[in-house]
Amino acid sequence: MINLFLKSFLFIFSFFIINETYNKNPPNIIFYLSDDKDQIDHNVYGNNLVPSNPINRLAAQGMTFENAYTTQAICAPSRSQIYTGLYPIKNGCYANHLPVKKNTVDVNDYLQSFGYEVVLAGKSHVNPSSVFNWSKYFKNEGKLLPMSKIKNYIKNAKKPYCLFIASDYPHGPFPTRTELKDSDIYDNPYSKKYRLNNEKGYYQNIIDDNNQLADILDFIEINGKDKNTLFIYASDGGLRGKWSVDEVGLKIPLIIRWPKVVKAGSKNSDLINLVDILPTIIESTGNKIPKSLDGYSFLSSLKGANNKRKFTYGISTRQNVRNAKVFPSRSIRDGKYKYIVNYNSYDIYKKNLDLLTENNVYTKEMEHDACGVGLIASTEGKKSREVVEYGIEALKAVWHRGAVDADGKTGDGAGIHLEIPKDFFIEKIEVTGHIHDGSDICVGMIFLPRNDYASQESCKTIVESELTKNNFSIYG
């Protein structure tokens, strides 16, 4: 009993000492983000052939996380999680190149209010700038990081800072000529199903990425900037599973070095999600984590304890993406099991409508308020506006309507859709630069053959004529 009391006292005492230290000497934070790099393609994660020297160095000095995930294995949605602490569905960037919602609170808002400068160097791929109001932004120089600007900033910073260094490597294009041989390429467990077209070029881009990372690590150590710096290394998602909810896409490398806080050479098997990065950063500065964030701080994991996360989620929205499957996917996993749902809009839409009609929850008149894929029901089985409102919110997570291919014969049988929830889409229309005129809104999704331009024009003409004939306005 005395032993237990003593341990508890020491833990509480050390907590206050560490917290006081954070407040008096807040850490600088550097987050190095690689682009399209599989977790397995590091020595510390199993690939013993891929060059990994700077990552090995970080792992020897910090903590390697074995079960870190992004929610969406694609550039913009993945980055939006890091910067907002919100899942892509909630922040609005649930498909590549979409902006986050214009009222989103981001890392700049939080950390700048704590006295930090928040700097982005390299690849951006997040919008709008009214949300991501960086203290400074250093653009890439071609495909390379703006290294001189990064070094100059680190050396001369007057305030505590959070510096995001977003590499454009190993993202393609991949060089066709390298000195690498076939024997240099690791035959990993994903190789047969997810074979890359140019693995040697991919490895060469990894080498180029390594060189940039090593340069930064050398610089901060030579200039004595490493002692009070929380350094995070990660990737935005795996290349072989890009766009999907497969493990090879969602599972990412994550290594964190923080002298005097993180045990050197340690490993951690806790579930971590990219939405957990922001709350962890906030807590590491000695500040309170906002309840509005989806993520959990894993500062406790960095100190050797367990974190709060029991599940991690995955989404895939691939409509209008090159060579993509029609249906969206969702996944959930814990430390042992993973469950994946692949939605087919026509089948699920029809099944749900039949189910709702049978239970007297759905009527045809309600469709313009609650169209889409998803089950709308009340706990008491009664129709109400509240049922529709909850349903619309739920549909934001799985929303997908069908499409008709340009030949008019294939596809999942939907194509042109009439009224949809107006409030939900007016904001999206305004983002494109259009002003909604108060008329009905509809969404059409058409999959066009990439090389058959005659069919593309024919399909476009048919759809636009049909919409215009029915008094609908067409937004971009």
The H-assigned helical ranges of 184-328 are 199-222, 247-250, 277-284, 299-302
The span from the CA of 452 to the CA of 408, in Å, is 14
Using CB atoms within 10 Å of the CB of residue 251, give its burial: 0 to 12 exposed, 13 to 18 middle, 19+ buried: buried
Task: Please state whether 220 falls in left (phi above 0), alpha (psi between -120 and 50) or beta.
Answer: alpha
The H-assigned helical ranges of 25-135 are 53-61, 75-84, 88-91, 107-113
Structure tokens at 390: 């909850």
Structure tokens at 476: 């971009």
Rounded to the nearest 10°, the torsion over CA 57, 61, 65, 70 is -60
75 is catalytic: yes
Q: 273, 69 in Cβ contact below 8 A?
A: yes
Q: Angle, to 10 degrees, between the axis of helix 199-222 and the axis of helix 147-156?
A: 30
Neighbours of 118 (CB within 10 A): 24
Q: 203, 50 in Cβ contact below 8 A?
A: yes
The span from the CA of 306 to the CA of 308, in Å, is 7
Residues 6 or more apart whose CB falls under 8 angstroms from that of 421 comprise 369, 370, 392
Q: What is the DSSP string of 338-388?
A: EEEEE--HHHHHHHHHHHHHHTT---GGGHHHH-SSS----TT----HHHH
The span from the CA of 451 to the CA of 186, in Å, is 36
Place of tokens 């951690």: 268
Nearest partner of 46 among 66, 60, 71, 22, judged by Cα: 66
Phi, psi of 106 (to 5 degrees): -125, -175
Residue 21 parent element (H or E)? helix 2-24
Catalytic one among 75, 162, 442, 459?
75
The H-assigned helical ranges of 63-195 are 75-84, 88-91, 107-113, 147-156
The span from the CA of 435 to the CA of 306, in Å, is 49
Q: Strands 63-69 and 251-257: what pairing?
A: antiparallel
Active-site positions read 75
